[in-house]
Structure 1
């Protein structure tokens, strides 16, 4: 879980003044919290961290959908040859 700490918090001013340096830090640490007037305003993620989270989300979504499909009532089904005839393949 991403938790704001002294090491991963920057201000909007830091972002505006030192954008490249802050992005370099994000590449190393994975994320930075951006605060404005002592309030959390945004989170910047490295590409690697974003892709990891996106992949995890996709995996969980696939798992949820698979579990939903397992609970559906089972039908008669069709053989491959029946499907091929039906679609003219």
Structure 2
């Protein structure tokens, strides 16, 4: 067990623990959105539930008078095209 843990640690150290599926720049954008609201109301993330029941951020609604209302409208359009998925609006800031 110790050898396996050591091997995992070494592999992580050598590769920098990169997530090959991570979108370059997403973390920086996420931090910026969290700190800076655009407009008067809270900006809204559109999240989609993936195949293993995790929520993934797939869109950002901002700049409307009521960002939540616009988020709900956007989700309605997404559900019309992909009715098998679950979506939700989540405050971004």
> TM-score, normalising length from structure 2?
0.24
Q: Which is greater in Rg?
A: 1
Which structure has the highest helix share of the two?
Answer: 1
> TM-score, normalising length from structure 1?
0.25
More RCO (CA 8 Å, sep 6+) = 2
